[in-house]
Structure 1
Amino acid sequence: MIAAAAGSVRIKLILTALATTFLALVVTTVAMLVYDLKSFQQGWVDDLTTQAELIATISAPAISFNDPRTAQQNLGLLRVRPQILAGAIYAANGRLFAAYAQAPFDTPALPRQPGQLGYAIEGGQMVVTHPIVEGGERIGTVYLVASYRLLDRLQSYALILLGVMLGSLLLAALVAHLMQAGITRPLLAVTDVARAVMQRRDYSLRVQERATGEIGTLVDAFNDMLAEIARRSNALQDANLTLEHEMTVRQCAERALLLADRRKDEFLATLAHELRNPLAPIRTGLDIMRVNANDQAACEKARAIMERQLKQMVRLVDDLLDVSRINTGKLTIRREQLVLQDVVADALELSRPFIAAQGHKLDVRLPPQPLYLVGDATRLAQVLSNLLHNAAKYTARGGAIVLEAQATAAQLELRVSDNGIGIAPALLTEIFEMFIQADSSLERSTAGLGVGLSLARKLVELHGGSIRAESAGAGQGSTFIVTLPLLQMVSAPAPRSETRQADGRLYRVLLADDNVDFVNGIGGLLRSLGHQVQIFHDGQQALAGAEVFAPEYAFLDIGLPHLNGYDLARALKRLPALRHTVLVAVTGWGQQKDRQLAFEAGFHHHLVKPVSIDQLQEILAGGGS
């Protein structure tokens, strides 16, 4: 019967509980004992170190002034701590300066030298040695000896833990005796599943043990909790993935914004610099013409300088406008059959003066047979002239520039090469971005806003082609390669139109602009050519004067005071005497929508400031078409 009882589940559970409790208590007891002893020791060390530090602090002046009596009195303060048996203060040379013993008539056994700093446990006593420092210099040492009754504490603590252990074992035996199998088994199952979940992080695990009553409710609640945690864990994991992606996107966007902001600041600074550059010689030219009004050669030279600088300013502004139109999708290109050789000729006509002024040698290598393309001749010539202009600008004076074309069955490859400053490998792809320049140093001798190559790339892409840069590195020159599709089916080429020149006829011309200097200058030029000119500075005056003057041509600013150019044009068209008057808008607004508004208001032409006398003469030569 006894053997049967010993083998029963209840007895095994009791024995298991007792054994587990006993082992746990032993381990806990040992751990707590070790921890307490270490804490006890550390507490003594901290306490004695604090006392030594206090004695060192208040005794530093006594050592500095060689006052053993004061040092002795400071050590006497330790009498309130009976655990401290003896103490001493040593001078910097190791000589005993002052001593102390807990018993008034005892002579403490102190070492001749203080020994190493720190603490030590010797024969049931704890010794602490602490430096006395003043002004960053060690001037002495505090030496304390205290009783360290570790064995007494160990005995007391062991008795307490033994009592706790016996009581715990008795209580564990009682609890295990009262436990039922229906309680123990489900709880063990829950414990096992919980442990497995924590180790494997697998929230799909469930407790398979069934029970009734509160324990059954606990098991069901535990399984439901695991299911909820699994759902939330999956949702959290999905949310974390989404958040990581959003953070990555946001960080990329932030870096892009910071880069764009930095480039914007650099561009504005460069824009101000590049616009001031041509203004300076223009101002100087005006001064030359004012001071040397009778010197024809000096005035002619100044005029040539001013014309070149004005063209540079117009080129900068036109490039910016073209880039803006492309970015907003408002720039369109004409698609017609072209001959490559004609496009190259137009580009060279634009670029040769600057290349020659830099003293470069230009080598043009084109196939002898005509090569046909489809596109906008003006824009393609603009691309090539930009590349040639860049090559001349970033090449030292007297350099070599090569423009060559190679054709395959379906593609044309145009290469513009130079032996200039070259391009760093890291910039070969970035060089086509807005406001990026190969040489951005303050010492550079070249000018520009960093928009020419970006504009060239976008114009080439509008033609279905591509552009790339090649360079062996800084100082090794660079090559830009433009690839364009060739036209397979070729029709008879249309003759190139020539710009009509003025036919010698004189007209009545009305000018309306609130920019007094500009309109008076244009008026003076037209009068010098023999035309009859009337000038007005606001819309109401122009409307009143036009009815009397009956001009054949009216050049109107859009931003006129009192009556804007659009309303003025509509009012002029309603006058019977001006039914055949040619209306020309002259404005600083050059977007496609601005042109459309002008034509809807009744204008026949749209000119963007600054305008030249050649543009005016071309319109006058049209005879009202």
Structure 2
Amino acid sequence: MPSRLRYRPHSVRAKLVAMALATTFAALVTMAASMLAYDLMAFQQNWVDDLTTQADIIATVSAPAVGFNDPAAARQNLALLRVRPQIEAGAIYGPGGRLFASYAVSPADTPVFPAQPGLVGYRIEGGHMVVVHPVVENGERVGTVYLTARYRLLDRVGTYSLILGGVMLGSLLLAALVAGRLQLAITRPLRDVTDVARSVMERRDFSLRVRHGASGELGTLVDAFNNMLAEVERRARALQDANRTLEHEMTVRQGAERALLLADRRKDEFLATLAHELRNPLAPLRTGLDIMRLSGGDPAAGERARGVMERQLKQMVRLVDDLLDVSRINTGKLAIRREEIELHAVVSNALEIARPFIDAQGHTLTVGLPAGPVVILGDATRLAQVLSNLLNNAARYTPRGGRIALTATVADGRLRISVADNGIGIAPPMLGAIFEMFVQADASLERLNAGLGVGLSLARKLVELHEGTIEAASDGTGQGSTFTVALPVLARTAAPAPAAPLALGQAGPFRILLVDDNVDFVTAIGALLRTLGHTVQVCHDGAQALAGAAAFAPDFAFLDIGLPLMNGYDLARALRALPALSRTVMVAVTGWGQQKDRDLAFAAGFEEHLVKPVSVEQILAILAGHREGVAVADRG
């Protein structure tokens, strides 16, 4: 056993040995005290008996001398005490208590005898034992024998204590040896348990176990300790697994919280920007109305005002359309037509949309396309929307008088369309986030052109619906940027024939029922249709429209959905039940444009579905399409 364990004062082994020694010591001290007390009592009694016997002998032999008043004979009798050197002095007192004869062990010593011998018996005085014994002659006390001896009680105690101390020391050593041997059966298992417990605390290793061969209660203790370590190990592993899971969940949650905070901040920025962007067109519209009201009969001023109002209205419609498209894509409600389209036609449509804004900014636009036709499978309108968004972004974030280039190349069955500019560029950290919702390359208040931050996100999602990709590249802030769209190319290169443009104003005249609670909108549309030769009846609630519908018998009924008294769905069902309106074409005109809203409209009996704001061109297209027996509007 290691010495550090053998002599450690606080170990179980040391405590067990100390307990055994303490018990042995207590027993030995009790025994020694008892033996010493007994020995002292016996020692004293022996001395008393011995001196009393001596005094009795002296009294017997000296009685005649006292009776005949012969001090010399009495002194001779006392001299016999020399054979007992421990008796230091002796004396015989006469009948009156007078000193009759005396004796001292050493002639040089002159003992001092008391005037009276005192009471019969013995007493201890200053380390001496004094015995007083009567001298009796014929039954009559004729004198007294007085003896004094050195009473070496302390010597006896010291000697006996030395003997007992040696015996006790030997006994304790023997007890320590025996206890040290016997305690191994107890302390070895406990020591092993202690060592394992210390290692577990220091190393946090719960796989350690106590090796033992103990039996009985100690064996049960060791087994219980090992079982406890096994249970702690199992729970520690479970806790570690739970902690790792919790750390992962915390990391995910923190990431989600950061994403939510970022999304919330972007949402707030988006709402503020949306309010700003929607207010921007409202000011010119209000100004245009004021010009038309105050200009009187000035046709030129009215024409300029109308031009401003049309441009601003198109801007508002574009903003709303972008938001609706993003919503439809996020909810999985946007479907694209897949048909063979030619690249040049898509680019032409995009340029037709974006060129007015590019020219207004004074930019130089260059276009480079492959010489031959390039056919792709997709939705021409949506792809034109993607390219027009990229061109508008390039124009918006390029200082006035900048350069914009649209180029397209075909390689390895992929069409790559790039829109490059020499504008403000994109910081490297923003390249990965520029396609996220509501993110803008320049979000400062000092930017010259604002936006909602949805154009690039919408463009990416539209491209992904065409199984393509879109990437952004920039050398940094102020170094311009390049957006590249990659799409699969069809093997065949025959371009579809362009559709003939629809001539407005060719349809009619028709009987048209307009039902909308927006008085200004429905009155203006009704007035415009009347100028085109149509017969128009305007109503502002469902009950009014139903009351006069049978007598009016319209060819077309344009119905708002959110009507007072009776909603548009119920009104459509009621009108469809009237025999006079069996051939009436009913068109839903509403601000609700999701697919479920279209499905509800068609289920209610509508044949067309228009989303506000509705232009007169859309209405005339429906009139012309049904005149020719062609359904112009898309039913979803």
TM-score normalised by the chain length of structure 2: 0.71
Match for 2:188 among 179, 185, 190?
A: 185
Match for 1:526 among 517, 529, 544?
A: 529
CA distance in 1 between partners of 2:481 and 2:280 (Å): 26
**Equivalent position SS for 1:620:** helix
- The answer to whether the 8 Å contact 2:374/2:493 transfers is no
Distance 1:175 1:387, change over 3 A: farther
Q: Does 1:575 align with 2:563?
A: no
- The residue identity in structure 2 corresponding to 1:456 is A
Structure 1 unaligned regions, length at least 5: 1-11, 25-168
1:200 Cα offset (Å): 3.2
CA distance in 1 between partners of 2:480 and 2:592 (Å): 39
CA distance in 1 between partners of 2:373 and 2:337 (Å): 20
1:252 alignment counterpart: 255
CA distance in 1 between partners of 2:597 and 2:5 (Å): 93
Match for 1:338 among 323, 341, 363?
A: 341
Distance 1:495 1:295, change over 3 A: closer
- The answer to whether the 8 Å contact 2:423/2:479 transfers is yes
CA distance in 2 between partners of 1:178 and 1:198 (Å): 30
CA distance in 2 between partners of 1:533 and 1:492 (Å): 42
CA distance in 1 between partners of 2:264 and 2:424 (Å): 27
1:563 Cα offset (Å): 1.1
1:387 alignment counterpart: 390
Distance 1:22 1:194, change over 3 A: closer
Q: Deviations over 1:576-603 (max 9, x none)?
A: 1111111111111111111121112111
Structure 2 unaligned regions, length at least 5: 13-171, 630-636
Q: Does 1:431 align with 2:434?
A: yes
Larger radius of gyration: 2
- The residue identity in structure 1 corresponding to 2:409 is Q
Match for 1:455 among 450, 453, 458?
A: 458
CA distance in 2 between partners of 1:560 and 1:580 (Å): 23
Moved more, 180-189 or 326-335: 180-189
Alignment of 1:215-234 (within 5 A): 215-234=218-237
Distance 1:23 1:580, change over 3 A: closer
- The residue identity in structure 2 corresponding to 1:507 is F
Alignment of 1:46-85 (within 5 A): none
Q: Does 1:265 align with 2:265?
A: no
1:496 Cα offset (Å): 2.8
Match for 1:349 among 348, 352, 359?
A: 352
1:492 Cα offset (Å): 6.6
- The residue identity in structure 1 corresponding to 2:598 is R
CA distance in 2 between partners of 1:391 and 1:492 (Å): 29
- The residue identity in structure 2 corresponding to 1:540 is A
Q: Deviations over 1:331-373 (max 9, x none)?
A: 0001111110111111111111111111111111111100010
Q: Deviations over 1:296-337 (max 9, x none)?
A: 111111111111110000000000000000000000001111
- The residue identity in structure 1 corresponding to 2:484 is I
- The answer to whether the 8 Å contact 1:554/1:582 transfers is yes
Q: Does 1:293 align with 2:281?
A: no
1:489 Cα offset (Å): 3.9
1:542 Cα offset (Å): 0.4
1:175 Cα offset (Å): 10
Q: Does 1:199 align with 2:187?
A: no
Distance 1:344 1:173, change over 3 A: same
1:508 alignment counterpart: 511
CA distance in 2 between partners of 1:616 and 1:560 (Å): 20
- The residue identity in structure 2 corresponding to 1:618 is A
Distance 1:492 1:278, change over 3 A: closer
CA distance in 1 between partners of 2:427 and 2:350 (Å): 27
- The residue identity in structure 1 corresponding to 2:246 is L
Q: Does 1:615 align with 2:603?
A: no
1:193 Cα offset (Å): 2.2
1:213 Cα offset (Å): 2.4
1:504 Cα offset (Å): 5.3
Q: Deviations over 1:424-476 (max 9, x none)?
A: 11111111100011111111120210000000000000001000111111111
Distance 1:185 1:496, change over 3 A: same
Distance 1:178 1:268, change over 3 A: same
- The residue identity in structure 1 corresponding to 2:520 is D
1:202 Cα offset (Å): 2.5
Distance 1:275 1:253, change over 3 A: same
Q: Does 1:20 align with 2:23?
A: no
1:257 Cα offset (Å): 0.9
Number of residue-to-residue matches in the alignment: 472
CA distance in 1 between partners of 2:507 and 2:620 (Å): 10
1:476 alignment counterpart: 479
- The answer to whether the 8 Å contact 1:500/1:622 transfers is no
Q: Deviations over 1:125-181 (max 9, x none)?
A: xxxxxxxxxxxxxxxxxxxxxxxxxxxxxxxxxxxxxxxxxxxx99x9599558533
**Equivalent position SS for 1:514:** coil
**Equivalent position SS for 1:496:** coil
Q: Deviations over 1:227-247 (max 9, x none)?
A: 111111111111111111111
Alignment of 1:266-281 (within 5 A): 266-281=269-284
Distance 1:452 1:23, change over 3 A: closer
- The answer to whether the 8 Å contact 2:542/2:565 transfers is yes
Moved more, 201-210 or 388-397: 201-210
1:242 alignment counterpart: 245
**Equivalent position SS for 2:405:** strand
CA distance in 2 between partners of 1:263 and 1:438 (Å): 13
CA distance in 1 between partners of 2:559 and 2:378 (Å): 33
CA distance in 2 between partners of 1:16 and 1:497 (Å): 106
- The residue identity in structure 2 corresponding to 1:20 is R
Distance 1:23 1:233, change over 3 A: closer
- The RMSD of aligned alpha carbons is 2.6
- The answer to whether the 8 Å contact 1:360/1:397 transfers is yes
- The residue identity in structure 1 corresponding to 2:457 is S
- The answer to whether the 8 Å contact 1:18/1:173 transfers is no
**Equivalent position SS for 2:341:** strand
Q: Deviations over 1:546-604 (max 9, x none)?
A: 11111111111011111111111111111111111111111111111111211121112
1:22 Cα offset (Å): 9.8
- The answer to whether the 8 Å contact 2:507/2:620 transfers is no
Distance 1:546 1:197, change over 3 A: same
2:539 alignment counterpart: 536
Q: Does 1:464 align with 2:467?
A: yes
- The answer to whether the 8 Å contact 2:587/2:610 transfers is yes
CA distance in 2 between partners of 1:18 and 1:397 (Å): 94
Distance 1:175 1:600, change over 3 A: farther
CA distance in 2 between partners of 1:16 and 1:290 (Å): 109
Match for 1:485 among 488, 494, 516?
A: 488
